Structures are given as C-alpha cells and as structure tokens.
Amino acid sequence: MFIAGFLPGVVMAGGLLIMNYIRCRINGFHGSDHPFSLREVMCASYRGFWALLAPLVILGGIYTGMFTPTEAAIVAIFYTLFVGAVIYRELDLRMVVTALETTTWLAGRVLLVLFAATVFGRILVENNVPGMIAGGILSLTDNLYLIWAMVIGLLLIVGMFMETLAAIMILVPVMLPVAYMMGIDPIHFGVVMICTLSVGFQTPPLGENLFIASGISGVTIERISLRALPFAVASVCAVFLIAVFPEIALWLPRALGY
C-alpha cells in the first residue's frame, strides 16, 4: 500500500500544482523578477544538504523496513533536532520550547475537532448509516465507472464530516466486498479510498489542515476554506484519474515484485 501510493501522490500533487499555476495566472502573480540561476540552486542545495537528507533517511528507513511509518515520525523529530542544534547550530532550548508550545496549541485545536468527529462517527456506526448507503449504491447499477463515481462521492462526503481513521475502520469492511465483486484490485481500491478521504483534510467543516493553516497564518477559517475549494476540486479530479487508470497505483508495486 505504501509503495502503491507513490505515483498517485505524484498525480495529486501535480493536480495541485496545475491549479496553483492557473490561479496565479488568473490573479496576475508572476513570482520573482530574479532570473533562475542553477548556480544558486546548487549552492543552496549544498548548504542545505543535511536538511535535504531528511526525506531520504525517513523514506529509506520505511522502505527498508528499519521502522514503520508511525515510528518514522519519531525518527524525523530526533533527526531534525540533531541537525538544527548540532550541525547548523540554529536551534536552542528556548526555540524548541516555543515550537512545542505552538505545536501543542495547534494540535489542541485539531484534537477538539477530531473528538467531535469521532463521536459523530460512532453515532453513524450505531445506526448503520454507512452500510445502508453502500447497499443503496450497489442496488442502483453494476457499471464499474458509475460505482467508482458513487463510491468516491460517498467517501468525499464522509471525509468532510468524519475523522479519516474512523472512516477507514467503518467503511472498509462494507466496501471491500463490493470492490471484490466488481473485480477491483484491493490495493487499487485502498489507494483510491485513502486519496479520496485525504481531500477531507482541506474541506470544511472538519478540515484539519484548514484549522492548522488558520492557526499559523492568523487568517479566518472561513476565508481559508473559500480559497481552498479550487484545490479540493483539483484533488477530486486527480482521484478520478487514479480510479479510472488502476496502473497508476499498481505499476510500481508490480515492477518491484510485490
């Protein structure tokens, strides 16, 4: 699943880049007047070598099985602290404490949202709402593309109101048999499901990333939500592309022998 998500992640990132380019052209943003310089890029890469090495250390450890993706978060924290304090010598104890205070405040806001989302998810489970919706989808058509469209639409709605882990635990047992019946590869289905639910991070009312961006920038959540909608549309288009062309998710694992 982790390897299968690489190319879909590139597709979704590409969709966001294209949308960003379109919005910049519409609003007349031209960027810096300073010409591109390969020499400056190389110098900056040399100065930031240890910082640029962080993704390689983290992803390399995950792919080689040295630690899990969850444990990678701890590795990332200690690596960045070591690089910032020992190699670059730009971090001190006071800055670390300030960063921890800011992180606690931002995480607290998100956790309050997740608490309400978890309660809401429990209510849906107890009333079998996801099961009824999934059953209704199957009763309408047996066309693969229409089912994909309805599944993605359902996941988008669920992702807007429910925390991602809760949605996975609730919907996978219901929808995976549907995927098997339609001949959909379970890895492909899992990637599409994760990509679709991830759109909920940038859409209200749950939108954890919106709350984090609001806390960092000081901009109201309503204004950020409005500006984030075009990027959510780009992400949805990328999700449909991944669903229609399963090789985007399946080619890399097969090429690596999985």
Rounded Cα distance between 199 and 159, Å, is 7
| pTM attached to this predicted model | 0.71
Rounded Cα distance between 37 and 47, Å, is 16
pLDDT above 90 covers a percentage of the chain that reads 21
Rounded Cα distance between 248 and 40, Å, is 35
pLDDT surpassing 90 at residue 10: yes
* Least confident stretch, 113-127, 171-185, 200-214, 232-246: 113-127
Terminus-to-terminus CA distance in the chain, angstroms?
10
| Nearest residue to 244 via CA among 172, 143, 170, 157 | 143
The pLDDT of residue 195 is: 93
**pLDDT per residue as tens digits for the range 164-201:** 777 787 777 777 777 877 788 999 999 999 999 989 88
Largest CA distance in the chain: 62
Tokens representing residue 210 in the block: 């919106």
Rounded Cα distance between 221 and 210, Å, is 7
pLDDT surpassing 70 at residue 121: no
**pLDDT per residue as tens digits for the range 63-118:** 788 888 888 888 888 888 888 888 888 888 888 888 888 778 777 766 776 777 67
pLDDT surpassing 90 at residue 8: yes
81: Cβ–Cβ under 8 A, 6 or more apart, which residues? Answer: 91, 96
**pLDDT per residue as tens digits for the range 123-143:** 776 777 766 766 676 677 778
Tokens representing residue 215 in the block: 């806390």
Instruction: Report the run of H or E that residue 120 belongs to, with start and end.
Output: helix 93-126
Long-range residue pairs from 5-10, CB within 8 A, at least 24 positions apart, any chain: 5/191, 5/194, 5/195, 5/249, 6/252, 7/248, 7/249, 7/251, 7/252, 8/191, 8/192, 8/195, 8/238, 8/242, 8/248, 8/249
| Nearest residue to 201 via CA among 110, 86, 105, 85 | 110
Indicate left, alpha or beta for 35 from its phi (over 0: left) and psi (-120 to 50: alpha). beta
Domain map of the chain by residue range?
37-91, 97-258
